[in-house]
Amino acid sequence: MRCEARLWGALAVAVLVCIILLPGCTKPPTEEIAKAEKALEGAKAKEADIYLEDGFKKADAALKKAKDLLVQKEYKDAKTAAEEASSGAQLLSSQVDAAKGKMKTEAEQMLQEVKAQTNELKILVADAVKGKVAINPDEAQTLIGKNEVDLINVKVRLETGKVRQAYDDLKVMKSQTAAQKEKLTAALPPTPENK
């Protein structure tokens, strides 16, 4: 009985030693963090930060979390966060071309819409001038001229792969042209077809 008590006591001490020393034996996930950094760099080189912003921010945040956990010596959680960052970045890399293609298609559609809006704006300005409506035609004409130059620049950006920049420019142009068109339409007297 006495021998059995010693055996249980020794076993308890061994278990306690293992519990205390086990976390110290876990090695830092430096390889996983390096892999995640490389995957994020690759995703950024493919422009995932431009075309898949939210996903890239999430993967980048996971990498930062992994580094913070590494400093805090929370190696298991750091490894999990690094693996999450790595797999997220790899997924983004595989999705960039599709996202860029979708944005390019949307930009090309918006390009046609802005062209049409600009032409409608020209007609409205001409109608306002003919009808001697009290408007400032210079403001609309300046926007028309700016749009025509910007449309050329947008086409060049689309052709050279600067899709995001072209897309953002078109959104601004579309908004400004719609606002000017609305302003002119409100100033013109109603036509029989608009009643």
Taking residues 172-194, report their average pLDDT. 83
Cβ neighbourhood burial of 144 (10 Å; 0-12, 13-18, 19+): middle
Taking residues 54-62, report their average pLDDT. 96
- Residue closest to 37 by CA, chosen among 18, 62, 8: 62
**Whole-model pTM over 0.75:** no
Q: For residue 113, how many other CB atoms are within 10 A of its CB?
A: 15
In tens, the pLDDT along 4-50 reads: 656 556 555 655 555 555 555 579 999 999 999 999 999 999 999 99
In tens, the pLDDT along 117-148 reads: 999 989 888 888 787 777 777 888 899 999 99
Cα angle, residue 49 at apex, residues 68 and 88 outer, rounded to 5°: 55
CB 140 within 8 A of CB 123: no
Proportion of the chain above pLDDT 70, given as a percent: 85
- Residue closest to 169 by CA, chosen among 143, 147, 188: 147
- Ordered by start, the domain boundaries in the chain are 27-97, 99-188
CB 48 within 8 A of CB 64: no
Mean pLDDT of the chain: 87
User: Looking only at Cα atoms, what is the longest distance across the chain?
Assistant: 115
In tens, the pLDDT along 182-192 reads: 988 887 777 66
Proportion of the chain above pLDDT 90, given as a percent: 67
Which range has the worst mean pLDDT, 55-59, 88-92, 132-136?
A: 132-136
Which range has the worst mean pLDDT, 71-75, 90-94, 125-129, 189-193?
A: 189-193
Taking residues 99-106, report their average pLDDT. 95
- Residue closest to 175 by CA, chosen among 147, 155, 152, 153: 147
Which tokens sit at 146?
A: 């700016």
CB 64 within 8 A of CB 39: no
Question: What residues contact residue 92 under an 8 Å CB cut-off, 6+ apart?
Answer: 43, 46, 48, 52, 55, 56, 59
pLDDT for 195 equals: 46
pLDDT for 16 equals: 55
